[in-house]
Amino acid sequence: MANKTKNLFWNREAETMPASEKKRVQLERLQATVKRAYENVPFYRRAFDEKGVKPEDVKSLEDLKRLPFTVKNDLRDNYPYKLFAVPMSRVVRLHASSGTTGKPIVGAYTRNDMEVWMEVIARSMAAAGVTEDDIVHNAYGYGLFTGGLGFHYGAEKIGASVVPVSGGLSKRQVMLWQDFRPTVLCCTPSYALVLAETMEEMGVGLNDICLRVGLFGAEPWTDQMRREIESRLGLEAFNQFGLTELIGPGVSAECICHNGMHIQDDHFLPELIDPETGETLEYGQKGELVLTSLTKEAFPVIRYRTKDITTIDPEPCPCGRTTVRMMRLAGRSDDMLIIRGVNVFPSQIEGVILEQKELVPQYQIVVERQRNLDQIEVQVEAVDELYQKDESEILRVTGRVQKALNQTLGITARVVIVPPRSIARSEGKARRVIDRRNLT
């Protein structure tokens, strides 16, 4: 599906800035951010004082290492407004991430933060070849989640026509594809698959729709999943990354070279650290992504530990952008399962499932502890044809998948093939793992 789209820039000057100029801009913005945070947010002042650093100590980008990290719990402890650096009268928008445990994470935006957000999403969309001539079907959830309104405003900034459909009512979504003729689809990759399935069930074919670009993100997904979505929806898929803490979507996105996601590094300064020791890693090594906001006014974030595991490639991309690229995420360090001492990422399991033609990429991973031993069970749906066959055929496929999984993971996982359409579909982020071990 590669390169059906053109290489476009939303802000060529910023996106192709030479390295020396970029460093100058980053340092200037970092110094301003650190000063603003120190002067206006008691949490940051305390954290800096405890480490014995002052904003004036940041004389080069290297000095970033001297600053304290910020972690998710700091955000929770200061819920909802205590990390804001401006009075509420300057905040024009609030968002929040759902969060599976505890209180949500709150994002706040001044009018200028909204401008920056639209700018970085417009860059992400243009990098995928989206223009004012496109019709954007936005099936990310609208509301507190940053996906819906983020892409909505970014698409409007580009001048595209936005269909603000949000998630859910999948048949109606497919009907709108036929009637409104959208060319761009925005949603989570797992929901894109649900829509593909719905379309097939409705007997709607690729000739009945005209999607050409998909902007998918908000959850981990594999390259195999990308190929599956691309062929079933007839579009070119572009990975989109972001988090509420930093701004929402727009932190980084793929261009038509599909060489990792370009981080908008004049607005977000990336670092990689060893998740165990906190030591800074060189670009190229695999580690936890740490991000510092460079222009945010309402809610500056300094050295935020994302828990997302990736590598960074600083080499210029053939597309001409000089922004550094982060590779597809292996997953979050807190999604990583440790099963009998072995690290297992759900994405590894997804990769194996997508290689099996008898299986549908709808799965759930159940982890239990029986007699002090971790057991992992992968429940995955059969395609209709397999389920209609006799049990011995299902057992044969089960055995084969189990072997492939064991080879990939290095541990034994039990595979259970379940009936078609029996696993709950998600309209947003899919919940793949059910951990029943009650680990604290």
DSSP states of 11-56: SHHHHT--HHHHHHHHHHHHHHHHHHHHHH-HHHHHHHHHHT--GG
Residue 288 structure tokens: 């936890």
Residue range at the interface with ligand DLL (CB under 6 A); choices 52-60, 215-223, 296-304, 400-408: 215-223
Q: Which of 209, 218, 324, 367 binds ligand DLL (CB under 6 A)?
A: 218
The answer to whether 324 and 270 have CB atoms below 8 angstroms apart is yes
The residue sitting closest to ligand DLL, measured at its beta carbon, is 217
Residue range at the interface with ligand DLL (CB under 6 A); choices 36-44, 84-92, 191-199, 240-248: 240-248
The answer to whether 310 and 286 have CB atoms below 8 angstroms apart is yes
Q: Which of 129, 167, 220, 300 binds ligand DLL (CB under 6 A)?
A: 220
Q: Which of 217, 287, 300, 346 binds ligand DLL (CB under 6 A)?
A: 217
DSSP states of 364-398: EEEEEEETTEEEEEEEEEEPHHHHHS-HHHHHHHH
By CB under 6 A, the count of residues binding ligand DLL is: 20
295: contact with ligand DLL by CB under 6 A: no
Q: Which of 83, 85, 192, 243 binds ligand DLL (CB under 6 A)?
A: 243
At its nearest, how many Å lie between ligand DLL and the CB of residue 147?
3
Report the alpha-carbon distance of residue 245 to residue 267 in Å, rounded: 14
75: contact with ligand DLL by CB under 6 A: no
239: contact with ligand DLL by CB under 6 A: yes
Q: How far is CA 427 from CA 66, 183, 190, 243, in A?
A: 42, 20, 8, 18
Judged by beta carbon, residue 244 or residue 323, the one nearer ligand DLL is 244
Judged by beta carbon, residue 55 or residue 300, the one nearer ligand DLL is 300
Q: Which of 134, 236, 308, 350 binds ligand DLL (CB under 6 A)?
A: 308
Enter the DSSP assignment of 84: -
108: contact with ligand DLL by CB under 6 A: no
350: contact with ligand DLL by CB under 6 A: no
3-state class (DSSP) for residue 192 = helix
At its nearest, how many Å lie between ligand DLL and the CB of residue 144?
10
The answer to whether 106 and 247 have CB atoms below 8 angstroms apart is no
Judged by beta carbon, residue 55 or residue 270, the one nearer ligand DLL is 270
Report the alpha-carbon distance of residue 278 to residue 49 in Å, rounded: 19
What's the half-sphere exposure (Cβ side, CA atoms, 13 Å) at 184?
Answer: 29
Q: Look at residues 167, 148, 157, 166 and name the one whose alpha carbon lies nearest to residue 130.
A: 157
Q: Which of 153, 241, 268, 363 binds ligand DLL (CB under 6 A)?
A: 241
Per CB under 6 A, contacts with ligand DLL among 130-189 are 140, 146-147
Handedness of CA 387, 392, 398, 400 (dihedral sign): negative
Report the alpha-carbon distance of residue 304 to residue 75 in Å, rounded: 10
At its nearest, how many Å lie between ligand DLL and the CB of residue 240?
4
Strands 325-326 and 331-332: unpaired
Judged by beta carbon, residue 182 or residue 217, the one nearer ligand DLL is 217
> Which helix (DSSP H) or strand (DSSP E) does residue 115 occupy?
helix 111-127
428: contact with ligand DLL by CB under 6 A: no
Judged by beta carbon, residue 38 or residue 191, the one nearer ligand DLL is 191
Strands 359-370 and 331-332: unpaired
Q: Which of 182, 234, 248, 300 binds ligand DLL (CB under 6 A)?
A: 248
Residue range at the interface with ligand DLL (CB under 6 A); choices 5-13, 76-84, 170-178, 236-244: 236-244
Q: Which of 329, 360, 367, 380 binds ligand DLL (CB under 6 A)?
A: 329
242: contact with ligand DLL by CB under 6 A: yes
Residue range at the interface with ligand DLL (CB under 6 A); choices 112-120, 237-245, 291-299, 316-324: 237-245
Judged by beta carbon, residue 173 or residue 398, the one nearer ligand DLL is 173
Annotate 75-98 with b (16+ C-beta within 10 A) or e (fewer): bbebeeeebbbbeeebbebbbbbe
Q: How far is CA 207 from CA 187, 199, 274, 364, in A?
A: 21, 12, 48, 32
306: contact with ligand DLL by CB under 6 A: yes
Residues in contact with ligand DLL by CB under 6 A are 97, 140, 146-147, 217-220, 239-244, 248-249, 306, 308, 329, 332
